Amino acid sequence: MVRLKRACGQTANKLPDETQQRQRQNTVAFKLKKVTTMATAETRNKIFGTPETNYLNCTKGWKSWAFTLDHKRIGVMYLVGVTIALFLAGAFALILRSHLVKFDSNMLSYDRYNQMFTLHGAVMVFAFIIPSIPAALGNFVLPMMLGAKDVAFPRMNLASFYLWIVGTMCLLGAILFGGGLDTGWTFYTPYSIETETGVIWATFGAFVLGFSSIFTGLNFLVTVNTMRSPGQTWFKLPLFLWSLYATSIIQVLATPVLGITLLLLIAEKTMHIGVFDPRYGGDPVLFQHFFWFYSHPAVYIMILPGMGVISELISVYSQKRIFGYSFIAFSSVAIALLGFLVWGHHMFTSGQSPLVTLIFSAITFSVAIPSAVKVFNWLATLFKGSILLNTPMLYALSFIFLFGIGGLTGLFLGALSTDIHLHDTYFVVAHFHFVMVGGTLTALLGGLFHWWPKMFGRMYNDFWGRVSCALVFIGFNVTFFPQFVMGARGMPRRYASYDPEFQIFHQISTVGAFVLGIGILLAYGVLVYAARYGKRCGSNPFRAASMEWQSSSPPDFHNFIHKPTVNDPYDFDSQVYDEELDTYLPREYADPAKTPPRKEPVHH
Amino acid sequence: MAIAETHDTHGEHHDDHHDHGEFIAHHFESPEQQFDSGKLGIWIFLVTEVLFFSGLFVLYTLYRNYHPEIFQVAHHYLDKNLGCLNTIVLLFSSLTMALAVRSAQTGKNKNCETYLLITMVCATIFLGVKAVEYSHKWDLGIWPRSMFHYHEGVHETGIFGLSNYLIKLSVIPTLLLVGFAGYAAFQYLTDKANNARFYIGMTIMVLGYFAGVVGGVVYQNAIAGDSHAHAALQTAAPLMLHAATIDKSSAGHDDHVHADGEGDSHDDHDHADVPAGSQESVPDSVGIFFSIYYCMTGLHAIHIIGGIVALAWIYRRSQLGHWREDYFGPVDYVGLYWHLVDLIWIYLFPLLYLID
Ligand code: HEM
Ligand SMILES: [Cu+2]
């Protein structure tokens, strides 16, 4: 251990205040300038060239994965895990859509249908979307973006993954041992107390998944606070980190309330403690309040990381400094905080006082403002940028489009009078799929394509990547756009049979769902193929300026074998092309003879 | 910053096995980065704990608003004296915990060890007293809402006239006691005095539980005078007095204003459950108070047990002499957790026991 510490060569940093921090920053910059003149081709090759050993092959055997504390491996394992959950819940969705092809279909019994949509929703929400971007992508890049070796609490990080496995198993245990689950993912009382199905399994699973999520959030908050590189101030953080930070705040503040709610539900079901059960004087609407106090903020747990990914992609692939950095950064925090005050918009028709509904409606409208701020900033970033329409960028653009629709229809639902009509119809279903699939899933895919070369050191096939994006985009719209229409015309959600006049909409939607499914499969196919057979790529093929791109691809076990340069993550001019390595390098390391002069003055 | 300064002076003694290098994880750059991370981590964890309990506090507030009369009456059935005793025990344990942290900060491992042992014993005394309180209530049919059926007098008792429930609750502590004591003896006989010391500590810790139980039982017998039934009657008297009030106010619930304004369908069920003319016995709707009581104190007790495990861990490490001026983080973190658990009790006690 001592040796290791020596090797890092970093003595205690006593940084009590800002001034000292700035001084330090200057000395770091100074030292690096010295390095510059000395960076030989050999050094360059050693730091940025394709390494012989990396985090993937430095140790072998299943134990080296199962007990790893390396955030990169944990991220990869999480990615595999959430992908399995996605495919499983996606299969449920396709079965549901197949059932709905005919208005009086009896492909599934009505009971089975109820169980199918419940498991689809519960697995997608708790086991896939919530952990997807933070725990898989975030885990991989967050420490690297800080120039750190790992997250603050690596063991807790691994524990989070194992809790995810246990929680997901319990959730699925509801089908295997609990005889299905038919409450909907919201577990509303009193039905959830009465039904004989596996509510206890599922709620316990969600409870455990909640802890998994808290562990990730806590870890990220601490890591961003204490493990930034010297000189890396808050405003030099990539926006992805701001969004992960805001997400973590929600995870830490909202999830415990879900935890206690689910425990109370279990207690109610087993002992009838009479807090939610009307038969014993309990208040079933109270459950809804408790549930949405978590679950509305949870929808921001789902979307904020996606927004962070998009901020990175838009900026990198238009090679332009992100427009309105601080607006995007603070809008994440604003969304996180305002998100706690709007849960009542899910309960406009559940019996709240008119005054309360009014207030919730008003705050709901205001929460749309920071979301719009982001969209406008992304558009402004694109303006006059040199746009590269490769796979990740296409995903990013489709995100903006789909999230825009999803967010705006949220306002329809947040308006009191329209919501009375639209509540519990397919309009709501379409709304949240636009934000969750069109938003988060699209961002996840975009982010995977963006960071894949870093994670596995190989480039994907851009043509097939773009095809996958087109299929996802088209399939998605064909699936969910008709749902807006039929919802507005009164088709209620969660019904196994319906009036014949809606049949055509359902049929279009089902066709779209299969196209969407093929698109997602293709995307994963392209990625997996690339990880195995793709062309080797350099450390920074896209000329991104955030710190994770200063590691080799794939990164070393310790992330960096040098002290990465701390620079502005949106100053793309700081990276210059190196022919030998066929990749971009920080100016400090590039061959001075071949380095073009700075285009713009350095911002600090 | 004291840490930072000592760091450099000790930096030389790499072969000294007390060097912090032993305890600094590879991904931290410096001991104080590790300490700061741990400290921030534990604070955030405490925030999640507060929010976890906050759900129950909200529940308490709402139901006290819905049914103030039930709360007024039901709390008479909690024994203020035992509650007060437990409060004092926990407050004292907070003091010894603080002293343990202080000792660790100054590198006095021996003192730290002693203080931690006292803290753990306080924790188990608390649990012992709680076991007496719980079992006594169960004997009288005071359960959560659906199982609540108050009856006077204890029908069955086990050995020594102890409550059967109390005996069941004490099975695990008894097994632990035998296990720890036996293992301590085994370690001692096989010349592992160091290990034996730890298990002796654990034995003493578990003994605290029995001290709590004995204290609680002796106290209850003392107030009971000669007969159990008498005690039950005494405590139950105010309940019966108020039973009529509850019945009335439940029946006349229609003029109650509800916070959520969604009408009061649930209240209709409520008084349907109360048998007409139940003046003689306690209406079952009182059970809602005890539902909340058991949820809150039960969750709190689980946290106490978790705390004991954490305390045992740092107790062991003090025996191994791990703490020094620049490395005492774990004691600090566990200390913060312990203070929070105490603090929650400080809120629970007046809210549940001292309602008047
Ligand atoms: C841009 C701001 C947004 C607004 C104003 C908004 C508004 C609303 C409203 C009012 C409802 C309730 C509809 C009803 O049940 O009658 C709703 C439902 C929902 N929203 Fe949003 N929303 C927004 C963004 C999001 C985002 C970003 C997500 C997730 C990533 C999301 C996920 C959901 C879900 C899952 C439901 C339905 C829950 C259910 O009943 O199963 N929303 N939204
Ligand atoms: Cu919402």
Residue A590 lies in a domain: yes
Distance between Cα A421 and ligand 2 center (Å): 17
Strand partners, A576: A585
Number of domains in chain A: 2
Return d(Cα B137, Cα A403) in angstroms, integer: 56
At residue B239, the pLDDT reads 53
Where does ligand 1 bind, in terms of residues with CB under 6 Å?
A 186, 299, 302-303, 345-346, 364, 367-368, 371, 407, 410-411, 413-414, 419, 422-423, 428, 431-432, 435-436, 439-440
Residue A76 touches partner B, C-beta closer than 8 Å: no
At residue A343, the pLDDT reads 94
Give mean pLDDT, residues B144-166: 80
Nearest Cα neighbor of A306 from A85, A133, A135, A476 is A133
At residue B105, does pLDDT exceed 70?
yes
Record: contact B30-A1, CB cut-off 8 A = no
Distance between Cα A117 and ligand 1 center (Å): 18
At residue B2, the pLDDT reads 36
At residue B139, the pLDDT reads 87
At residue B248, the pLDDT reads 42
Return d(Cα A205, Cα A176) in angstroms, integer: 13
**CA dihedral angle for residue B130, residue B133, residue B135, residue B136, rounded to 10 degrees:** 170
At residue A10, the pLDDT reads 34
Give mean pLDDT, residues B19-44: 85
Residue A303 lies in a domain: yes
Residues spanned by the domain of A204: 68-308
Distance between Cα A275 and ligand 2 center (Å): 24
Atom in ligand 1 nearest the alpha carbon of residue A345: 10
Which of A2, A222, A274 is the closest to B37 by Cβ? A222
Tell me the per-residue pLDDT of A209-239, one tens digit each, with 9 for 90 and over.
999 999 999 999 999 999 999 999 999 999 9
Record: contact B49-A290, CB cut-off 8 A = no
Domains and CATH numbers, chain B: 30-136+167-281+290-353 (1.20.120.80)
Residue A2 touches partner B, C-beta closer than 8 Å: yes
Out of A126, A299, A408, mutate this one to test ligand 1's pocket (max ligand atoms within 8 Å of CB): namely: A299
At residue B264, does pLDDT exceed 90?
no
Task: Tell me if A103 sits within 8 A of A497, measured CB to CB.
Answer: yes
Counting ligands in written order, which one lies closest to the CA of residue A306? 1
Strand partners, A577: A584
At residue A217, the pLDDT reads 97
At residue B256, the pLDDT reads 36
At residue B7, does pLDDT exceed 70?
no
At residue A600, the pLDDT reads 64
Residue A94 lies in a domain: yes
Which residue among A288, A308, A328 closes a domain?
A308
At residue B338, does pLDDT exceed 90?
yes
Interface ipTM? 0.89
Q: Residue A260: its chain B contacts at CB < 8 A?
A: 52-56
At residue B156, does pLDDT exceed 90?
no
Give mean pLDDT, residues B185-208: 93
Which own/partner pairs from B25-30 qualify as long-range (CB within 8 Å, at least 24 positions apart)? B25/A154, B26/A1, B26/A4, B26/A5, B26/A149, B27/A148, B27/A149, B27/A150, B27/A151, B27/A152, B27/A154, B27/A227, B28/A227, B29/A8, B29/A10, B29/A13, B30/A10, B30/A11, B30/A12, B30/A13, B30/B4
CA distance B262 to chain A (A): 5
Residue A85 lies in a domain: yes
Distance between Cα A410 and ligand 1 center (Å): 6
Which own/partner pairs from B154-163 qualify as long-range (CB within 8 Å, at least 24 positions apart)? B154/B228, B154/B229, B154/B232, B162/B217, B163/B135, B163/B136, B163/B138, B163/B139
Which of A260, A283, A290 is the closest to B52 by Cβ? A260
Out of A302, A346, A375, mutate this one to test ligand 1's pocket (max ligand atoms within 8 Å of CB): namely: A346
Which residue among A308, A338, A357 closes a domain?
A308
**Cα-Cα-Cα-Cα dihedral sign, residues A440, A445, A450, A456:** positive
Nearest Cα neighbor of A382 from A331, A324, A337, A336 is A324
% of residues, chain B, pLDDT over 70: 77
Whole-angstrom CA distances from B12 to B7, B9, B15, B18, B49 are: 9, 7, 9, 12, 41
Poorest-pLDDT segment among A36-50, B22-36, B305-319: A36-50
Residue in the structure block whose two tokens are 């699939």: A437
Residue A61: Cβ-neighbour burial (10 angstroms; 0-12, 13-18, 19+): exposed
Return d(Cα A386, Cα B316) in angstroms, integer: 62
Record: contact A152-B41, CB cut-off 8 A = yes
Nearest Cα neighbor of A541 from A524, A528, A554 is A554
DSSP code, position A577 = E
Nearest Cα neighbor of A55 from A135, A144, A120, A134 is A144
Residue in the structure block whose two tokens are 């196994």: A496
What CATH number does the domain containing A102 carry? 1.20.210.10
At residue B275, does pLDDT exceed 80?
no
Which residue among A286, A308, A330 closes a domain?
A308
Task: Tell me if A216 sits within 8 A of A302, measured CB to CB.
Answer: no
DSSP code, position B260 = T
At residue B355, the pLDDT reads 84
For residue A288, what is the nearest residue in chain B, using CA coordinates? Answer: B260
Please give the full DSSP string across B279-345, using - where no structure is assigned.
GGS--GGGHHHHHHHHHHHHHHHHHHHHHHHHHHHHHHHHHTT--BTTB-HHHHHHHHHHHHHHHHH
Task: Tell me if A318 sits within 8 A of A404, measured CB to CB.
Answer: no
At residue A602, the pLDDT reads 55
Give mean pLDDT, residues B149-154: 75
Task: Tell me if A111 sits within 8 A of A175, measured CB to CB.
Answer: no
Q: Give CA angle at A344 (A341, A349), nearest 5°.
A: 165
Q: Which segments of chain A have a pLDDT < 50?
A: 1-37, 604
